[in-house]
Structure 1
Amino acid sequence: MLRALIVVVLAGLLAACVNEPAPRVVAPPPTTTTAPAQPEPTTVTVGVESIGAGFNPHLLAHQSPVTTALETLVLPSVFRPDVDGTLRLDRTVATSARVTSTDPFTVSYELNVEASWTSNAPIAAEDFVYLWERMRSEPGTVDAAGYSLITDVRSRAGGKAVDVVFSRPYDHWQELFSGLLPAHILKDAPGSWTGALAGGLPASGGPFRVVTVDRARGEVVLARNDLYWATPAGLDRIVLRAVDDSTMVDELRSGDLDAALPEADPTVRQLLAALGPTVRTQDAPLPVVTGLGFRSDVGPLSDVRVRQAVAAMLDRDALRAQVAPGSSAADAFGLAPSETGYASTAPVGAPATPNPAEAQRLMLAAGYVRDAQGRWTVGGQPLEIVVAAAAERPQDVELAQAVAMQLTAGGITTTVLAPPAADLFAQPDVPATPPTTDPAAPGATVSATGSAPPTTSTRSRTTTRTTPPPTTTTPPTSGATSTTQAPPTGRVRADVMVLPRPVGGDVSARYASDYGCPVALPGGATAATSPTRFCFPALQSLLDGLVDGTAEPGTQAVVEKVLWAQLPVLPIYQQVSMVVSTTATDTSTGISPGPLRTGPLTGAQRWTAPPG
């Protein structure tokens, strides 16, 4: 009986276990975590005509408004111009810079211990050494004469103090060591001086850094340098975007551009006038004088009479009106039209408009005669001149073509070439690369070869042009048709080159750099030469006196007179751009033309984003 009762109880318990539903597991409600919205980066977008061929501020080949902006905002400089152009010590880079000895002349720099590159390497003495060595030895540099006076650069305090020793006193030593470059990255990089800086700047020592250089889109993006040791930039980004004239106007109207830096020609002014009072324009002379450099060491233009004859065939006013109608006529070798103290130094009879009689007199004196086709010949061979302009500079190519047309009309067989700027301004010969038929046409590109990639340029104007074919052109006889010859191949000498000469610094160093003879350096090396390779020994002592401050009063006027007689370069114009801004941009940035040397983006680290 007891056993039966136990069985019944166990059966009941088992039944209860089987029939009881399993406890339900309820999952907790899903939690949704929403990341906080990231604010849009504060950005100012500036329209430019071209992003340029490269970004080394010390190379003629890389001169452009974008390169100027990057030097100002990305690279460290010991001295910088203030709003009126006066050089002031930049204490974020150097806490002290002064002359500490006169025998030998020595300048000592105490560098800011916090100053460093974005690679975490300190800004130090090796950066001074690298710039000095490159400036005194590399061809195609800008204002190298001051660096050629330096005999030694000595490091102290672990590289954070520098003593710079000169061969003789140099009153304008504050002009040196601007745009320092990161030696620890560049000194061992292949082609570092040119090639490594064609696509950007590998490190920053300023309030901004280069994030991207997109040549396909024509855009350079700068971002705030978060490793900058001084006051941080107010903006997250600055975008420099290449746009053509009509696009610029549309994007200013829509707000896609906050400001623009177009060429100041009548067509652009007319387009901007359609925007009414919503935009403000300010003229901004560029820190460059464009001229024609004559190859003076070899070839037909080594004869000064031929240089003078070529100049007498040209109409400088017509060239300027055709190619750069908003520019200022340049009639001096030293100062630019926008610089304080500028005045025309052109003597009576200096080349201005075509003077066929003077050109003929000079050509005959040099041994040339006209043949039956009207060509100038010597020994039965026609005079052939190569006119070249940098492929990355469309306006320069247009000027070269206009010059060739005038020389052809004067009886000279001409060939127009558009080699890379790095070759044209630094090498004794250039690739025989023809330009397109119209480098300024919308969407046109100029063919180029070499290490530097072609620039992105959107320059266009609605004007009518007649351009010569990219072949060798000979002048026609009266009533005959023009004949052409096969263009050259391989590498050739450029006899006439469209030459942009930077201005805005020490004019004495400018004279010596552009027109001085090469200087012998220790160890048998030779200092950098100018693109024209001009050397007139009788002028050298005057140039030396200007550089070291020992020249007599009136020496600069004598130098100008000698240069007009020798004519290594024929000045043409100083290009003028405009600073175009909206009311909102003016309020947040205060953008202006800025000092000549540093341009409209001077002080951009203090900008804020326009509202809206």
Structure 2
Amino acid sequence: MIRVTRALVLALLAVLLAACTQVPLAQPPPPEPGPTAQPEPTELVVAVEDLGAGYNPHLLAHSSPLTTAVAALVLPSVFRPGADGTPQLDRTIATSAEVVSTEPFTVSYELNLEASWSTNTPIAAEDFVYLWEQMRADAGAVDAAGYRMITDVRSRAGGKAVDVVFADPYPAWRSLFSDLLPAHLLKDAPGSWTGATTGGLPASGGPFRIATVDPGRGEVVLARNDTYWDTPAVLDTLVLRRLDDAAMATGLAAGDVDVALAEADPAVRTALGGLAPVPRTQLAPLPTVTQLGLRADDGPLADARARRGVAALLDREAIRTAVAPESLPADAFGPAPSEPGYAPTAPAGAPARPDPIAAEQLLGAAGWTRDPGGGWRADGRPVSLVVGWAAERAEDGRVARLVAAQLAAAGIDATAVESPAADLLVRGTVPADEVPSTPATAPTATATPSPTGATGAPATSAPQPAGAVAADVVVGPRTVGGDPGTELASDYGCALPTDVVPEPPATPTGFCFPALQLLLESLAAGSGADDPARFAAAESVLWTQLPALPLFQPVSLVVSSAAADAATGIAPGPLTEGPLAGAAQWREPGR
């Protein structure tokens, strides 16, 4: 009986265990998924002095620290400056670039198949063609001599390979095709080269893109380019904000500003001196030299002796110390004071401080005379000079007013007149209604005398817009940081016709000295690279002809808090790219 009961119990347990394995216990339902926490967008604010006149880095009229900074972050370049300043191939844009022929001199570029604009249009041969066509034909283009040596730009591999053919060997070819522009958007846009880039850049080929340009608020916002094919920028946005000295200092103290790019002057240092802790400051020379362009094709300064005589009335050092005391004095037409190899080339007697005796002799030799009141006359009329400056360049305005005041004190009626940068630095003109009512004549074609007194090729003035007159003295920038021979030929060479460009534009000041042209062309072609005497010869002729009077190389003050230093590692950067060159790797301070 016990045995039967035990069997029944065991059977019952087996049934219960089987039921437990077949019917699982009820489980609580999984929790409903909640919203995923999104990280706060990262942002870094850079204070700047002004927003400039535009964003085309190839236009002298748009030259500014902001334009340089934006171009380095937004526009694609085949070569970029390395740590030692020499050009290094940017493989995000081109996988190779090399000379493939010497007869004719030909450079072949193989473009990165992934490289594309933020519109998803490939960066391709048409962008090379567009830049070449604009650079060779625009009077306001920067360092255009190398592009004028190109005879053809050919497309291969569906636009992803480019062959560039030159008229002569050009050793500095690596300096070309930097800051490419989106041809597919600009070539048919109203204003194209100039007008379409005044308010921004329509597409990006770099780690950032221009999101907004707001002149009213004084802000340019760069956003991460989400279509960029290489390593993306760390920051979501980089805000470039226009602030005066006091607001800049206040923003740094409050943490609303992380980095500031200020004009190096006592006012800025005074404003920063009141902060605790005092932020770090670094000097960053700009890729320009401020100079006085002297109109050579017509008017009172057409004679080189008149140009040198007027220059002898000026106190260059007083102008520099009053306007930009921390700038670098410039005494050469080639490399800037901050560049390796710079050496003053001004000969004895070249204008540095006022030399009334030399001025009297030179102006008298040019046919100028004194009236009974001490004023200067030429061609029987009182001499009246217009000193033009770009309205978008405040520092140039201070220079212009000082120049006009010094000339007036020396007996020359001179008036400082502001003009839009595109008019002044491309055509060399100022508004007629801003100029005193003195006799004026339209610019004409004039012959330029050679050193022996023979007549050279005529230097024809560019057509002047209605309601404008030619400025006699143009205060403006001369770009530096590139190939020295190319820069000399670009800045001081004649605008000569070629098969490709039969009617080249004249330079803003109309300078053309045929006796110097062959030397400048040889320097651009690299034949003087190992012969400093050839550069010295060109500098000597330029000091005699004086198409321009160098003043100084401006210097920016790079200001950063300790937190910003740690997050950015900011430094002056390459001369041609500036302190923001590495911003794609920056992060927001404190994060």
Whether the TM-score (by the shorter chain) exceeds 0.5 is: yes
**Aligned equivalents of 1:583, 1:433: Cα separation in 2:** 51
Q: Is the 8 A contact 1:416 1:471 kept in 2?
A: no
Shift of 1:85: 1.4
Asked if the contact 2:138–2:505 (Cα under 8 Å) also holds between the matched residues in 1, the reply is yes
State the alpha-carbon separation in 1 of the partners of residues 32 and 370 from structure 2: 90
Specify the alignment match of 1:50 in structure 2: 50
What are structure 2's unaligned runs of at least 5 residues? 1-30, 440-465
CA displacement at 1:111 relative to structure 2: 0.3
Partner Cα distance (1:405, 1:189) in 2:
43
Distance 1:397 1:176 in 2: 32
Cα separation, 1, equivalents of 2:288 and 2:67: 13
1:379 CA displacement: 3.8
1:556 aligns with 2:535: yes
Counterpart of 1:578 in structure 2 is 557
Report the equivalent of 1:274: 274
Alignment of 1:213-612 (within 5 A): 213-427=213-427, 429-432=429-432, 434=434, 490-522=467-499, 525-551=502-528, 552-611=531-590
Aligned residue for 2:423, secondary structure, equals helix
Partner Cα distance (1:373, 1:35) in 2: 85
Letter in 1 for 2:587: T
Contact 1:290 1:498 (C-alpha < 8 Å) held by counterparts: yes
- Within a 5 Å distance, the mapping from 1:90-169 to structure 2 comes to 90-169=90-169
Question: Matched residue pairs, number?
Answer: 533
Do the aligned partners of 1:140 and 1:529 also contact (CA within 8 Å) in 2? no
Task: Give 2:430's aligned amino acid.
Answer: V
CA offset digits 1:94-121 (Å, max 9, x no partner): 0000000000000000000000011111
- Give the RMSD, CA atoms, in angstroms: 1.9
CA contact (8 A) 2:419 2:429 kept: no
Letter of the 1:69 counterpart: A
Quote the residue 2:453 is aligned against: none
Instruction: From the superposition, tell whether residues 240 and 342 of structure 1 become closer, same or farther in structure 2 (CA, over 3 Å).
Output: same
The alpha-carbon deviation at position 375 of structure 1 amounts to 1.5
Distance 1:507 1:247, change over 3 A: same
State whether residues 333 and 563 of structure 1, in contact with CA within 8 Å, keep that contact through their aligned partners in structure 2.
yes
In the TM superposition, residue 84 of structure 1 has moved relative to its aligned partner by 2.5
Do the aligned residues in 2 keep the contact of 1:293 with 1:496 (CA within 8 Å)?
yes
1:195 positional shift: 0.5
Evaluate the alpha carbon distance shift between residue 386 and residue 34 of structure 1 in structure 2; reply closer, same or farther with a 3 A threshold.
farther
After superposition, what is the alpha-carbon deviation per residue over 1:403-444, rounded to whole angstroms, capped at 9, x for unaligned? 00001111111122111110111125332364xxxxxxxxxx
Specify the SS of the correspondent of 2:554.
Answer: strand
Query: 1:148, 1:527 within 8 Å by CA — same for their partners in 2?
Result: no
1:303/1:269 CA distance change after superposition, 3 Å: same
Relative distance call for 1:608 and 1:207 in structure 2 (3 A) is same
SS at match of 1:546: helix
Does structure 1 retain, via aligned residues, the 8 Å contact 2:384–2:438?
Answer: no
| Partner of residue 78, structure 1 | 78
Q: Deviations over 1:54-93 (max 9, x none)?
A: 0000000001111111110000000001233121000000
Q: TM-score, normalised by structure 1?
A: 0.85
Secondary structure of the 1:262 match is strand
Q: Deviations along 1:342-361, whole A, 9 cap, x unmatched?
A: 11111111101111111111
Report the Cα distance in structure 2 between the residues aligned to 1:539 and 1:154, rounded to whole angstroms. Answer: 32
Given the superposition, is the C-alpha separation of residues 472 and 319 from structure 1 closer, same or farther in structure 2, using an over 3 Å criterion? farther
Equivalent residues of 1:414, 1:473 under 8 A apart: no
Displacement of 1:33: 9.9
**How many Å apart are 1:274 and its aligned residue?**
2.0
State the alpha-carbon separation in 1 of the partners of residues 413 and 349 from structure 2.
25
Does the residue aligned with 2:287 lie in a helix, a strand or coil?
strand
- Give the 5 Å matches for 1:175-194: 175-194=175-194
Contact 1:248 1:260 in 2 (8 A): yes
Q: Is the 8 A contact 1:419 1:433 kept in 2?
A: no
Superimposed CA distance per residue, residues 479-513 of structure 1 (whole angstroms, 9 cap, x where no aligned partner): xxxxxxxxxx9211101000200110101100000
Give a deviation string over 1:124-182, Cα, whole Å, max 9, x none.
Answer: 00000000000000111100000000000000000000000000000000000000000
Instruction: State whether residues 497 and 503 of structure 2, in contact with CA within 8 Å, keep that contact through their aligned partners in structure 1.
Output: yes
Q: Deviations over 1:424-481 (max 9, x none)?
A: 11125332364xxxxxxxxxxxxxxxxxxxxxxxxxxxxxxxxxxx85799xxxxxxx
Counterpart-to-counterpart distance in 2, 1:139 and 1:473: 28
What amino acid is aligned across from residue 585 of structure 1 in structure 2? A
SS of 2:333's partner is: coil
Q: Name the residue aligned to 2:10.
A: none
Q: 1:360 to 1:278 in 2, by over 3 A?
A: closer
5 Å matches for 1:28-39? Answer: 36=36, 38-39=38-39
Distance 1:525 1:473 in 2: 36
Measure, in 1, the Cα distance between the counterparts of 2:276 and 2:361: 54
Partner of 1:438: none
Structure 2 letter corresponding to 1:576: V
Q: Name stretches of at least 5 consecutive residues in structure 1 with no aligned partner.
A: 1-30, 435-469, 475-488
Which deviations, in whole Å up to 9, do the C-alpha atoms of 1:170-211 show, x marking residues without a partner?
A: 000000000000000000112111100000000000000000
Matched position secondary structure for 2:193: coil
* 8 A Cα contact 1:339 1:504, kept in partner: yes
After TM superposition, the structure 1 stretch with the greater mean CA deviation from structure 2, 157-166 or 578-587, is 578-587
AA at the equivalent of 1:579: V
- Report SS of the residue matched to 2:390: coil
Match for residue 480 of structure 1? none
- Partner SS, residue 80 of structure 2: strand
Q: How far off is 1:369 after superposition?
A: 1.4
Question: Aligned partners of 1:231 and 1:222: how far apart in 2?
Answer: 17
Q: Deviations over 1:309-345 (max 9, x none)?
A: 1101100011011111121111010010100111111
Alignment-mate amino acid for residue 101 of structure 2: S
* 1:261 match: secondary structure: strand
CA separation in 1, counterparts of 2:523 and 2:363?
A: 34
How many angstroms does 1:608 deviate by?
1.0
Q: Is the 8 A contact 2:427 2:507 kept in 1?
A: no
